[in-house]
Amino acid sequence: MAHNFDVIIIGGGILGTSISYFLSFLNKSKKIAVVEQAHSVAFHTSGRNTGKVHAPYLYNPEKKKLFAKAAFHGFGMWEEYAKLRDLPFKKDGVIEVALDKKGIKVLEKYLKWGKQNGLGNKDIELMDKTELKKIEPEINCEAALYVYRDGSVDYSTFTRSIMKDSKQNGTKFLLDTKVTKIKKENDRWTITLNNEHKIFAKFLINAAGGEAVDIAHNAGVAEKVTDVHFRGEYWKVPKEYSNLTKTSVYSVPEFPDYPFLDPHWIIRVDGSCEIGPNAVPVFSPYGYNKTENIKEFIPKVLEMLGSGARKAIFDKQFQQLAMNEIQSSMSKSAMIDRVKRFLPKIDADKITEKGTAGIRSSVIDENGKFVPDVILVDDETSFHVLNYNSPGATGALPFSAHIVKHLNKTGLFNSEDLNVQCGPWKFNEIIENLQE
Ligand SMILES: Cc1cc2nc3c(=O)[nH]c(=O)nc-3n(C[C@H](O)[C@H](O)[C@H](O)COP(=O)(O)OP(=O)(O)OC[C@H]3O[C@@H](n4cnc5c(N)ncnc54)[C@H](O)[C@@H]3O)c2cc1C
């Protein structure tokens, strides 16, 4: 194995893999590697999500402008990429329901945000309950937002395909390889892999998902923030419910100030149906089971007590939310009941099989507040992406192009010509779309 690299990307999730993709087109002469501890790319959050290509109606254009734009353009880019590589992409839409008068106000706000974020009149429509009943007779609600420009995919397949393209341009993927230590020495990074080998890099990109905050701290940046991990669990629904609705259904979240939604009714790209995810606090970004959570319990609690997360833990509303979520993890019917509010036909007794859980890591600032947006941290020889949460998979391609453009601007790669063809897209056109 070569030991010296120009750029090392930590994390082979959808973000790190997509960053490598654009870098590989723009910097063909550079030696680039992605280091991923799992056996395959997208093994963690990127392959354990709801699989929706989200229309950007949930995001305040003032507070999450770049994220919303990335989601808007991500839809078109994934659709195009799916066609190019013959991967499944279903434009199947989504319905967001309001269960009370307060919820209708929220839908009106979402409609406005959706349009501000680029959706047209044909992409999104507010309906009263009678109109919706004609289309979806099994759904009970007060009003609904029908979002036609929303899709379903399998992000693991997409990430594996992007990896293949990136590899063809020369990127190395070091799989089954964990970065166990990073140290800056003599203007370059010494990176220890699996506690054994050392490799060296001029520049480090941290796209490590649930470990991104720890790696940033090890690099000496973003020391004031910490993160809290939430496990999103799913239940698989038997085939007899497959035709209950034509479309996936979300409900207006009960606690909109927190960075997760209530469990949804999901129709996946292969037509199977699931209920989820909830958001159960856990102690590790890989806390899928008890063993891992017990192992990480003491270090994580000590870390939280010594940071802004302490204030969040003692916040009454957060405690109530955490209790709801823990209850919906311990009791299947507590979780199913949250969806039964708008799909009363479902019988929890018929649902017996769990789906694949995924974990999101939300960043908390020093005041104990959840940070709503992604955090990008520039350092002289490293770049860190923290809090890259939903709809991160949707926006991964344009967002990665944005990061690569930013790194180029800071003088790292000095590619003068950005009119480069990257697969089906011109790099500078992606950037122009994001700036509009
Ligand atoms: C339950 C749930 C549902 C979601 N649903 C959707 C959805 O429907 N649509 C959507 O757009 N978004 C969704 N999201 C959000 C989306 O999945 C994430 O924003 C996205 O996957 C984040 O990608 P990532 O590459 O940053 O992180 P990850 O996929 O977590 O990748 C980070 C990688 O870094 C690796 N890594 C970390 N530390 C090290 C180390 N020290 N050495 C080597 N490797 C390391 C990890 O193994 C991991 O593979 C959902 C998220 C969750 C949790």
Whether residues 161 and 47 fall in one domain: yes
Task: Find out whether 99 and 341 touch, Cβ atoms under 8 Å.
Answer: yes
112 part of a folded domain: no
266 part of a folded domain: no
Task: Find out whether 94 and 52 touch, Cβ atoms under 8 Å.
Answer: yes
Which ligand 1 atom is the nearest neighbour of the CA of 50? 8
d(CA 216, CA 173): 21
Which ligand 1 atom is the nearest neighbour of the CA of 16? 25
Checking if the pLDDT of 392 tops 70, the result is yes
Q: How far is the CA of 122 from the centre of ligand 1 (A)?
A: 31
Q: Write down which residue in 339, 370, 401 finishes a domain.
A: 370
Instruction: List the domain range (segments joined by +) for residue 182.
Output: 1-51+154-224+371-436
Q: Which residues line ligand 1 (CB under 6 A)?
A: 10-16, 35-38, 43-46, 49-52, 54, 178-179, 207-211, 232, 277, 358-360, 388-394
Whether residues 406 and 353 fall in one domain: no
How does pLDDT run across 242-259, given as a tens digit for each residue? 999 999 999 998 776 676
Q: How confident is the model at residue 299 (pLDDT cuts 50, 70, 90)?
A: confident
What percent of the chain lies above the pLDDT cut of 90? 78
Q: How far is the CA of 317 from the centre of ligand 1 (A)?
A: 27
Task: Find out whether 395 and 77 touch, Cβ atoms under 8 Å.
Answer: no
Whether residues 306 and 352 fall in one domain: yes
Q: How far is the CA of 285 from the centre of ligand 1 (A)?
A: 10
Task: Find out whether 400 and 374 touch, Cβ atoms under 8 Å.
Answer: no
Q: Give the pLDDT confidence score for residue 108 in this predicted structure.
A: 97
Task: Find out whether 192 and 83 touch, Cβ atoms under 8 Å.
Answer: no
Q: Give the pLDDT confidence score for residue 298 in this predicted structure.
A: 87
Identify the burial level of 164 via C-beta atoms within 10 angstroms of its C-beta, where 0-12 means exposed, 13-18 middle and 19 or more buried. Answer: middle
Whether residues 230 and 327 fall in one domain: yes
129 part of a folded domain: no
Task: Report CA dihedral (73, 76, 79, 83) to the nearest 10 degrees.
Answer: -120
9 part of a folded domain: yes
Q: How confident is the model at residue 13 (pLDDT cuts 50, 70, 90)?
A: very high
Helices (H), 253-395: 290-305, 309-313, 316-330, 332-340
User: Lowest mean pLDDT: which of 220-224, 294-298, 307-311, 341-345?
Assistant: 307-311
What percent of the chain lies above the pLDDT cut of 70? 98
d(CA 276, CA 290): 20
261 part of a folded domain: no
43 part of a folded domain: yes
How does pLDDT run across 134-164, given as a tens digit for each residue? 999 999 999 999 999 999 999 999 999 999 9
Whether residues 350 and 400 fall in one domain: no
Checking if the pLDDT of 414 tops 80, the result is no
Q: Give the pLDDT confidence score for residue 116 in this predicted structure.
A: 96
Q: How far is the CA of 389 from the centre of ligand 1 (A)?
A: 8
Whether residues 344 and 390 fall in one domain: no
Q: Write down which residue in 336, 370, 404 finishes a domain.
A: 370
42 part of a folded domain: yes
Mean pLDDT, all residues of the chain:
93
346 part of a folded domain: yes
CATH of the domain at 3: 3.50.50.60
Whether residues 333 and 384 fall in one domain: no
Instruction: Report the domain count for the chain.
Output: 2
Whether residues 386 and 423 fall in one domain: yes
Whether residues 417 and 388 fall in one domain: yes
Checking if the pLDDT of 309 tops 90, the result is no
Checking if the pLDDT of 1 tops 90, the result is no
Whether residues 350 and 414 fall in one domain: no
7's tokens: 């750029």
- Whose alpha carbon is nearest atom 27 of ligand 1? 209
Which ligand 1 atom is the nearest neighbour of the CA of 210? 30
- Whose alpha carbon is nearest atom 25 of ligand 1? 13
d(CA 279, CA 292): 17
Q: How confident is the model at residue 2 (pLDDT cuts 50, 70, 90)?
A: low
User: Lowest mean pLDDT: which of 77-91, 167-181, 310-324, 368-382?
Assistant: 310-324
Whether residues 361 and 397 fall in one domain: no
Whether residues 160 and 47 fall in one domain: yes
Q: Write down which residue in 370, 392, 422 finishes a domain.
A: 370
d(CA 363, CA 224): 10
Residue 371 DSSP one-character state:
P
Query: What average pLDDT score do residues 276-293 get?
Result: 93
Task: Find out whether 8 and 189 touch, Cβ atoms under 8 Å.
Answer: yes
Q: How far is the CA of 44 from the centre of ligand 1 (A)?
A: 6
Greater confidence, 368 or 426? 426
